[in-house]
Amino acid sequence: MAEGTPPDGPSQPVPTGVGDDPRARRFRGRFVSARARGNDLARTAQRRFDLERERRSWLETIWGALQRMQRRGGPLLSGGLAYRVFLWELPMSLTIVAVLGLFVDLGARSPDQVAREMGLSAALAATVAQAVAQTDSSSWWLLLVGLWLTWWTARSAVSALRLIHRIAWDQESLPKTRRFLAPVVFSAMLLGVLLASLAVGRLPGGGMVVSALAWVAVLAASFAFVVLAMSLLPRAGRPWSAVLPGAAIFTIITRGIAIASGVYFTDKLDRVEDFYGSLGVAIVVLVWLYLLAWGWIAATFINAGFQGVAGGRPVAEPEPRAPSDADG
Q: Across 50-64, 178-192, 222-236, 309-323, which has the greatest mean pLDDT?
A: 222-236
The whole-number pLDDT of residue 259 equals 76
If you ran DSSP here, which 8-state letter would residue 98 be given? H
Mean pLDDT of the region 263-288: 64
Tell me the per-residue pLDDT of 222-239, one tens digit each, with 9 for 90 and over.
899 999 999 999 988 889
Residue type, 301: F
pLDDT, the chain, mean: 75
Q: List all residues 6 or more positions away from 8 whose beta carbon is below 8 Å from its beta carbon.
A: none
Q: How confident is the model at residue 267 (pLDDT cuts 50, 70, 90)?
A: low
Name the burial class of residue 250, with classes exposed (0-12), middle (13-18) and buried (19+) by CB atoms within 10 angstroms of its CB: buried
Residue 102 pLDDT: 44
Query: Do residues 111 and 269 lie in contact, with contact meaning Cβ atoms separated by under 8 Å?
Result: yes
Query: How many Å apart are CA 191 and CA 196, to the nearest integer?
Result: 8
Helices (H), 202-319: 208-231, 244-260, 266-276, 278-306
Model pLDDT, residue 297: 95
14 has a pLDDT exceeding 50: no
Distance (Å, whole) CA 10 – CA 157: 73
Domain boundaries, the chain: 74-306
Q: What is the pLDDT of residue 110?
A: 47
The answer on pLDDT for 160 being more than 50 is yes
* pLDDT, tens digit, 9 for 90 and up, residues 75-133: 899 999 999 998 888 888 777 776 665 445 544 554 444 444 444 455 555 555 555 55
Residue pair 162/177 in contact by the 8 Å Cβ criterion:
yes
pTM of model > 0.85: no
Q: Report which secondary-structure segment, H or E, holds 129.
A: helix 120-133
Give the Cβ contact number of residue 57 at 10 Å.
9
Res. 299: pLDDT tops 80: yes
pLDDT, residue 131, reads: 53
Higher pLDDT, 102 or 252: 252
